[in-house]
Each structure stands twice: as structure tokens, then as C-alpha cells.
Structure 1
Amino acid sequence: MDQAADNGYRQTRKYHMRWWTLLVLSLSLVIIGLDNTILNVAIPTIQRDLNATASQLQWMVDAYILIFASMLLTMGSLGDRFGRKLTLQLGIIIFCGFSVMAAYSDSSGQLIASRALMGLGGALIMPSTLSIITDVFPREERGKAIGLWAGVAALGIGLGPAIGGWLLEQYWWGSVFLINVPITILALMLGFFLVPKSRAPHPPRIDIIGAGLSMSMLLSLVYAIIEAPSRGWTDTLVLACFGSALVLGLLFVFQELRTDNPMLNLSFFRNPRFSAGAGAITMAFFTLFGVMFLFTQYMQFVLGYTALQAGVRLTPFAFGMLIGAANSHRMVRIFGTNKVVAGGLAVVAVMLFSVYFWGIEIAYWIIGVTIVIQSFGMANTMAPSTDAVMGAVPLAKAGVGSATNDTTRMVGGALGVAIFGSVLNTLYSSNMEAATAQLQPQAAAAARDSVGAAVQIAGMAGGPQGEALAVLARQTFVDAMGVAFVIAAVVAMLTAVAVFFIMPAGHLGKQE
């Protein structure tokens, strides 16, 4: 943007209303953050009320992730072409409508279908919010705006378990979906007046083949990641899905290189700020979702907290992320993006490693301090990395850039849950083999499968033998969790080193 155009822009209503616009976009994003975590605490109640199988419970969570992640790139591209405000408001309407349907579902199949369509709404909302921020904020303010955007997203993720636990103590399980309704209606009404219209000035033709290949590739990849922990990483179906994702990915690359109007211009990845930023975001969400997944189990099954108590004790995630993200732009201004992002990942790595020394009894203040410091490090990774990705793409492609950023988040998060869970389950099951040898076959299998089941079986057995089984199961879980966290710490530290050397400290050239 040249000086004359910049001066003209600063006289527009869009510029003067930009912080109000950010408020509405952040409100729209809260429901996405909430929905990522609020359902987890309602799963036991839903299982009882709908007589859901273990597989159905898994797909109540995963159907949303699968559709959300696979549709992001395509929805971002449609926003660039037809208008980002349009896709945002359409996404809010879809998300609201199917939240109501999910709340009043009377079968597992209906709930799974509603969750999948909520994922479609989420895929329309999330890239629209970030691409509109890129459009309304000048570059010098964008880092601060994206920091606040990232902080609000994290706020929803961190508060989800606590809000869900409180709702379940007051109402029925459908309330965890109905909480979305007033937020979405408010965001829709305010957005009508406060969110400006924006789209690519000269939108190219829709890359239908590229859209189809990207959706199919991501669908296969995320499905394989979701199924791998339960089926096994060498299962035929899992390997077939990974193989399909690889083939479809190669075809997508070929299509985007040969077409005159690519949905995703692969030359973006030649910009080290784009590629290193995307890698850092993937690592941050790999860690965030993996940690939340294991910490929830640790607090309930090992420390004995209820769902609400555990949710409340996880809220420091939200506040550490909010404080870190909202102030990360100041750190970037002083030290440069690469040092801030690498430093954030290094802090995350140290905190992950410290969990290795936890036991089955631990003072909560240690957990709380660890969560705050770790989430602060994550925030100083996520917000500057997002700004780096969005600053590396042309303004006309802001929707696709935002969708790429969001896709790395979802794939990283799915991988975090899958890999953290797989490492823990493998070590836990093998180390519980001897301890469960004297149990009935069905009880032994359940105790080897889950620390929650082992503790329940121990309680039914009672006496010294039951107490010994419960202590052993908890200790085995903690030991396996420690190993999973050490592996993640090593990966986070290696990513930090790579970012430090690969990512430039500032933006490269002008953003057209």
C-alpha cells in the first residue's frame, strides 16, 4: 500500500471502526475455542443418556475435527472470492443452527451428524476472522491485533472444561451446545453493522480440482491420525489412509503448479517467514492439544478431581495464553519474530520436560505455575507465527493464508492428541501387563486399556489388593505421561532451533 493510498485508507470508516471489528471477530472465535474443549467433560453423561458405544463417543469429538480441518482451505478460498463477511456470517448461522440440533439429539448418529456440520460452520468462521483482520488493520498494528485474536481463541480453549463442568452440574448435557447460541446470535447481529465487506479485488476462477484434492487429502490425513491410536499405526486402513493422503497431496501439488489460478500458491512456502511460521504453529498446537488431553486425565484419574474441579484448575491455560498473546507484539518489536517464537518454543520445551518429575501426589501450585509459564510460551509462539504467515501472503489471498494457518493448527492439534495418546497408551498397557495377570480376562483388559477403568476396578475389588492396583495404575500412567512429555519437549526444542535460524526477524518487503 503506497503512502497516498495509506493516507486515504486512514480516513475511512473501516479504519476508524477496526477495533470494534476485532471485538466482533474475537466474539465469533470464542465459540470455536470453546467447542474444541467443552464437549470432553460431557462425554460420560452423553454415554449414559444415549447408550453410546466407545466408537460413537470418539466420533462425537472427531467428526467436528475431521470436517473442520478438511474444509478450511476451500472455505478460505471461497471467502476471498465471494466475500469474507458473507462466509463469516454464513458460518455463524450454520454453527448456531446445528448447535441447537446437537443439544436436542436423541441418538448418537444424530449428534455425530450435527457435530460434523458444526465443523463446516467452524471452517467458514475461522479463516474469515483472520483474513478480515488482515484487511482492516495496517501492518504496523496487525501484530497487536493478531495477538489479541490468538489470545481470545486460547481463552475459549482454556475456559471450555470449566464452563462445561459447571453447566453439567446445573443442567443437562445439551447445555454445552446451547451455550453457543447466545454468543453466535450476538456476534451475528454486531457483525452485520461492525464488520466491513472485503474480498479479493480481482478474484480468479475457482480451482475446483484443487479444492477437491485438498479436501480429500486432508480428510484422509486427519482420519488416519484420528484412527491410529485405537487401531494401531500399522493397521491396514490407517496405512491406506496415510498413503491416500500422500498420493492426493502430490496430485494437489501438481495441480497447483500447473493451473493459472491456484487455490494455494505454493510459492508462498519459499518465504521462510511463511514456512517457519506454519511449522511453529503446528508445533504449538501439537503441544497444546496433547497437553490438555493428558492433563485432563491426570487431574481426574490420578489426582481424583471431578470434571468441574479439573476444568477450573486448567483455566490458567487461558490466562497465560491471553497475557502472552496480547503482549507478544511488544516482544517482537524489541527482539524480532524469530527470537520470540524460538524463545516461546524453548519455554514450552522446558515446561514439558519438568512434567517428567511429577508424581501421583503433587501440590496444585506446581501444576498451576507450570501451566501459566507453558501457556505464556505457547502464546509467544502462536501469535507472532500467525502474523508471520499472514504477512507473507498478498492481501488478496488473505483468506487462503488464514486457512493455511488454521489448517496447521487443526492438523497439529489432531497429531498432538494422537501421538501423546499413543505413546501413553502403549507404555501404560505394556507396564500394566504383569499387574493385571491375576484379574478376570475382561477386567484385566479394561485395566490395561485405561487408568480410569483400572481405578474403578480397584475400587470394586477393595482391600489392600485393590488399593495396590489403584496406586500402581496411577503411577504407571504418570510414568508413561512423563515419557510422552519428554519426547514432545525434544521435538519442541528442535523446532525452536530451526525457527531461530530459518525465520527472518521481520517482514520481507511490502505486502501487496
Structure 2
Amino acid sequence: MDTVTVTPNPRRWWALGALVASMLTLGFDMTILNVALPTMAAELGATTGQQQWMADAYVVVFAALMLPAGLLGDRFGRRRILIVGLGIFLVGSLAGALAGNVEWVVAARAFMGVGGALVTPLALSVLPSLFGSEERTKAVGVISAASALGLPLGPIIGGWLLDHFWWGSVFLVNVPMAAIGIAACVFLLPETSDPASPKVDALSTALTATGLGALIYAIIEAPGRGWGDPLVLAMSGAAAVLITGLVLRERRVARPMLDMELLSHRGFLFSTLAATLVMFVLSGLMFVLPPYLQAVLGHDALGTGLRLLPMMGGLMVSARAAQPVVARFGPRAVVSAGLVVLAFSALLGSRTTVDSGYGFTALWLCVTGLGFGLAVVPAMDGALAALPRDRAGSGSGLLMTMRQVGAAIGIALLGSLLAGVFRDRLDVTGLPAPAADTAGDSVVAAHLIAERTGSAHLAASADSAYVHGMGVILLVCGVAALVTALLAAAFLPKATPAPATESTGPDMGVPAEDARQ
């Protein structure tokens, strides 16, 4: 561990405020787009697959670049790379706000992912230069809380913006926040580095990015093209080869960027699996729920954001309560119970019908949030606590990367399954071929075609097909959560070892301790 003597300075709290603003922006950017997707689908003519790319472009790049981004900060200066990351995020947000078509939105989101990957690991790594050991835990906890708070704020802020401005405002809101962060970093943060850190492995970074990208492409394109399509098969094969090449390379190098040997620790492996599964389900649900609330139930964007609060509320409450429960019953029992609650809520939600109304939805969303919080907090803490002290940093990096991979695959796989079920169930009898093909793109597109043709039958069929598809998604989530609960109950350690890292309390998006403290 680096030990840094810090002279108390009132400016450190202003600097922390800037970092909090940066993490808050990144936090709600993970969910703000979900509320905007139905509106963007209508105005840009985006298919379900294109909506998946708008959501996934950010997450795939974020996951692929997070580890090398942390190493770049170590070697070339954390403040410098943090400023660069915020600048890239700002430019990407501006480009997204001004984009005129789906392709430019996807490109802007990918560019923002580069910025997000640079900011996230470095926001924590600059804290030792600002705070002494007595204050550092509190500072890390504040940043962790800001990242978590962004999740429920995203849908509400996005909904309000969409009700008052055009869809590009969900990107434009990032610009002033990022600009404040840049200014604060320039004037308030000292420069720190660690020249002894491992070098950035360009080949491993390229293998990660291309392997993930090929896998996500195959999953998203499969419903439209078919799993037997030559392009889908080629991309699936390429993904398998690239990811295998990454694993083999990382096992050979002396100082790996992605330390695969960490997965040999049973507690770390199964805790990481649980946390990854939770992100898989959460990201998938956040993708499929807004169209249901907007297109099927008829709520506006702000109403949709507010109606997602039961899930976020349940998540925040259970995350805060998880630590004392773990102290009483142990992480294995709490993680397993959280996953069982998550499975129950998903199976309950799969019983949703077109006529269920929001009351039933709010019920299972609240239970879903409770399950999320009970599972993810002790799973993340248990993953890091299972590692030797000198591996906590690389372990937190691998844990965060796996969680982001889970999120990307959740959006791709669950979104693609939904798209396939929706298209198969939609009744387009009597529609001209072009209109029928467009209606099958998404529930939003089907409602637009129904309005143009005056077909109440098509609108009703679209609602029924989408709710059925959402039920299938929830059923898959429930089974996955139940299987993971059984694995956690069988293989997680009974008790958490003495923590090797400073505890930061509940955290939805930031590791308990950064690799480079």
C-alpha cells in the first residue's frame, strides 16, 4: 500500500465534491438512457437491435478499457488521465446530443465509454493524495454513495428532461457536470503516479475489446438474422477465439493486466459470479421495463422514471441493511437469500399480463430491488475479502470488469430474446409487407404503425406480444438467479475472512478499495 502523509487542507473537500459530481454523472448515465430509448426509437426509427447497441456501446467499451485505464493513470499521472477522461466524456456527450441518426448515437456512446473507463478507477486512486487514513474511508464512502445514487436519479432526471426538451438533452446534461469536474481537477487535485505499476498491454486490451464486441454483435444480430446465419456464426467463432487468446495470454505474462489466477480463489470466484449475475439481470430489466411502462401502460417519460423508483428504493434500503445482516448470518446465507428473493420476484413478475396495471408491477419491482441489494453488497465485499491483501487491487479491477461484462451481455442477450419473442407473437395480418416488417422492430414501432393505419388490433397485439416477451425474460432471470443461489449456497465460504481492505459500506459501482492506494 502507498502511504501518503496529507496535510489537512480545506480544498480537499472541494476536490472531493468535484469527484462526486463526476461519479454521480457516470452513475446516472448508466440508467438515464433507458428512459429515453422509447422516445429515441420513435424519433430516430431505431429497431430493438439498434436500441441494444445504443445501450451496449457504452458498457462494452467501458468494460474493455477499465483495467488499462487504471494502469495509464498510474504510469502517466492520475490527474492528467482523469482530466482526459472527463474531456472525452464531455465531447462524447456533446456529440450524442447533436447526433442525427442511430449510428452517430452509437458512436457517441462508445466514445463516452472511453471517458467513463478512464474516470471510474482513477476517481478513487487520487484520494490518498488528498486525505489521511482517518478521513479516507469516509471519502471513499461518499464517492461510493454518489455512484449508487446515480442509479435511481437517472430515470427521474431523464424523464423530466424528455418531458421538457428533446431526447438529446439526456446527453447534454452531462456537459456542465463534466466541465465542472475538469476545472476542479485542474485547480484542486495534486498529480500522483506509480511508475512501478505494470505496463498497459495493448494486445490484451485489443483482445478484450474485440472479443467482447464480437460476442455482443452476434447476440444482438441473431434474432433478426438467425443463429445459423454465416455472419452470426463467424462473429461467435471470432469471439470464442479472441477471448480464449486473452485468457491464454494473461496466464502466461509475468504481470498480467487481467489476473485470471484470482479465479482460483473459491470465495472470490463465486462471489464474483453472484455479483455478475445481479448486473446481468439488472441491466436487462432496465432495458425491457421502460418500453413496457411507456408503450404498453401509456406513461410519459417522467412518469416512467418515477415508476422505476420501487426497484431502486428496495435496492438502496437492502444495500444499506446488508452489512449488519451479513455480520449476523454470514455472507453465504445472505447472498443466497438475496438471490432467492431475486428469483421469486422475477417469477412473480413473469405473471404480469396486459391488464395487470402498475400496482402489481410496483410490487414485484420492490421485491426485486430488495433481492438485488441483499445479493450484490455482500457478494462484492466477500469477493474482495476472500483475496490476499496484496491482491485486493487486481481483484477489485477484475470484479468491476466482470460486472460490466455481465451488464453488457444482459442487455444483449435478454434484449435479443425479447426481440425474437415479440416478433414471433405480433399479429401483422393484413398489413403491407414493409409496414409489417417495421412493426416487428419494436413495440414503439408497432404502436406508430397502428396509429398511422388506425389499427386497434395491431396496438393490442403489440401490447400482448411485448408483455409475453417480458414474461419470458423474467422467467429466464428467475431461473438464472435460482441456479446462482444454489451455487452460492454450496460453494461460498461460511464466513468472511478478516478484511484485507478498508470497508466502504454499501456500493453499487465502486470497489471497496482501489488497486493503487
- Cα 1:82/1:294, change in 2 over 3 Å: same
Residue 89 in structure 1 maps to residue 83 in structure 2? yes
Partner secondary structure for residue 350 of structure 2 = helix
2:179: which partner in 1?
A: 185
- Cα 1:156/1:213, change in 2 over 3 Å: same
Letter in 1 for 2:256: P
2:432: which partner in 1?
A: 440
Output the CA distance in 1 between the equivalents of 2:219 and 2:26.
21
Output the CA distance in 2 between the equivalents of 1:110 and 1:460.
28
Letter in 1 for 2:444: G
Residue 64 of structure 2, aligned match among 46, 70, 73: 70
Q: Is the 8 A contact 2:28 2:150 kept in 1?
A: yes
- Cα 1:375/1:198, change in 2 over 3 Å: farther
Instruction: For residue 53 of structure 1, report the CA deviation from its aligned partner.
Output: 8.1
Residue 238 of structure 2, aligned match among 222, 235, 244: 244
2:504: which partner in 1?
A: none
Larger deviation: 196-205 or 57-66?
196-205
Deviations 1:50-108 (Å, cap 9, x if unpaired)?
Answer: 78788766544443233222222322333444455543333222212332233234565
Instruction: For residue 286 of structure 1, report the CA deviation from its aligned partner.
Output: 1.0
Using the size of structure 1 for normalisation, the TM-score is 0.83
Residue 450 in structure 1 maps to residue 439 in structure 2? no
Instruction: For residue 306 of structure 1, report the CA deviation from its aligned partner.
Output: 1.9
1:480: which partner in 2?
A: 469
Instruction: For residue 248 of structure 1, report the CA deviation from its aligned partner.
Output: 2.0
- Cα 1:107/1:316, change in 2 over 3 Å: same
Output the CA distance in 1 between the equivalents of 2:326 and 2:13.
21
Deviations 1:161-180 (Å, cap 9, x if unpaired)?
Answer: 32122112222333211211
1:405: which partner in 2?
A: 399
Output the CA distance in 2 between the equivalents of 1:257 and 1:48.
47
1:490: which partner in 2?
A: 479
Instruction: For residue 498 of structure 1, report the CA deviation from its aligned partner.
Output: 0.8
Letter in 2 for 1:175: S
Partner secondary structure for residue 414 of structure 1 = helix
Using the size of structure 2 for normalisation, the TM-score is 0.83
Instruction: For residue 263 of structure 1, report the CA deviation from its aligned partner.
Output: 1.4
- Could you list the runs of 5+ residues in structure 2 that have no partner in the other structure? 502-514
Q: Is the 8 A contact 2:86 2:115 kept in 1?
A: yes
Alignment of structure 1 residues 371-382 onto 2, 5 Å: 371-382=365-376
- Cα 1:270/1:196, change in 2 over 3 Å: farther
Q: Is the 8 A contact 1:37 1:160 kept in 2?
A: yes
Q: Is the 8 A contact 1:300 1:307 kept in 2?
A: yes
Residue 354 of structure 1, aligned match among 345, 348, 357: 348
Residue 420 in structure 1 maps to residue 410 in structure 2? no
Letter in 1 for 2:383: V
Q: Is the 8 A contact 1:24 1:187 kept in 2?
A: yes
Deviations 1:362-390 (Å, cap 9, x if unpaired)?
Answer: 34333223222211221222222222334
Identity of aligned residues (%): 38
Letter in 1 for 2:486: V
Partner secondary structure for residue 357 of structure 1 = coil
Residue 128 in structure 1 maps to residue 117 in structure 2? no
**Which structure has the highest helix share of the two?**
1
Letter in 2 for 1:507: P
Residue 267 of structure 2, aligned match among 273, 284, 291: 273
Q: Is the 8 A contact 1:128 1:399 kept in 2?
A: no
Output the CA distance in 1 between the equivalents of 2:262 and 2:132.
21
Residue 159 in structure 1 maps to residue 148 in structure 2? no
Letter in 1 for 2:475: V
Output the CA distance in 1 between the equivalents of 2:160 and 2:314.
22
Output the CA distance in 2 between the equivalents of 1:229 and 1:154.
33
Letter in 2 for 1:506: T
Alignment of structure 1 residues 284-303 onto 2, 5 Å: 284-303=278-297
Output the CA distance in 1 between the equivalents of 2:58 and 2:405.
13
1:219: which partner in 2?
A: 213
- Cα 1:281/1:231, change in 2 over 3 Å: farther
Instruction: For residue 253 of structure 1, report the CA deviation from its aligned partner.
Output: 2.3
Output the CA distance in 2 between the equivalents of 1:47 and 1:479.
20
- Could you list the runs of 5+ residues in structure 1 that have no partner in the other structure? none
